[in-house]
Amino acid sequence: MIALHPILVVIAAGTLVCIFARAAMHKATDLAMFVHTMGGYRLLPAALLTLAALGLLFLEVAVILGLIVPVTRPFAAAVALALLALYAAAIAINLSRGNTHIDCGCGGAGQGLSWYLVARNAVLGMLCLVAMASLLPVEMTAVAWLSAAAGILSTILLFAGIEKLIDNWSWLQASNRAFEQHNHEGHD
């Protein structure tokens, strides 16, 4: 396995912890709604939905704790990668079915499905790979920790900013469509 500088590994693991924490929080605070959202994906029989939702929540919490503890970090990152691949597959299946107007259940307010979400999971998957790497024998100085912390913060802010812009983009599309429809009907 390749060895990377600890700063990179800490940034990757820290970012994943924050992103999975948000996902787990979203599921834990409104499990009933999440179960319903999972139903929208039409991949599992209704009887299994609650069990599957609890299973995902458990795995996400395990990933968060595992990423923080140095010994379990590579395993937790591997589980995180598997979860992200699973979510991406579920989204891709529904995109290919044309079933795009369901709630993605990914934390953001009322996003539909799009290939952007699959791409996002691919990028997060790369972070998992970095978090799985073993560490170069380099001492973490104070500046290195500072860089790692600032790196985590920057990556999360970058993600939040991009997410917001994608959100705006779907707004723009929706309002364009609505305006076209409005103008069209106005001239009938």
Partner 1 sequence: MDPLVVAVIVLWAIVIVLLVVVFALARQVGILFERVAPMGALMTDAGPKIGEQSPRFDLLTLDGKPLTLGLPAPKSTLVFFLSTTCPVCKKLLPVLKSLKQAEAQKLGIVIASDGDALEHAEFRRAAGLADFPYVLSRDLGMTYRINRLPFAVLLDPQGVVRGKGLVNSREQLESLLNAQDLGQATIQNWIEAEVAGRG
Closest distance to partner 1 from the beta carbon of 39 (Å) = 8
Binds partner 1 (CB under 8 A): choice among 109, 115, 116, 145: 109
Which residues from 115-144 bind partner 1, rule CB under 8 A?
143
Residue the block writes with tokens 């795009």: 100
DSSP line for 46-59: HHHHHHHHHHHHHH
- Distance CA(140)–CA(183), nearest Å, equals 62
Q: Which stretch binds partner 1 (CB under 8 A): 3-11, 18-26, 117-125, 166-174?
A: 166-174
Closest distance to partner 1 from the beta carbon of 18 (Å) = 14
Binds partner 1 (CB under 8 A): choice among 16, 35, 64, 95: 35
Residue the block writes with tokens 């995902």: 56
- 149-154: long-range pairs with CB below 8 Å, 24+: 149/14, 151/7, 151/10, 151/11, 151/14, 152/10, 152/11, 152/14, 152/15, 152/18
Q: Are 146 and 134 in contact (CB under 8 A)?
A: no
Closest distance to partner 1 from the beta carbon of 79 (Å) = 28
Where does this chain bind partner 1 (CB under 8 A)? 32-33, 35-36, 39-40, 101-104, 109-112, 143, 146-147, 150, 153-154, 157-158, 160-161, 164-165, 167-168, 171-172, 174-175, 178-179, 181-182, 185-186, 188
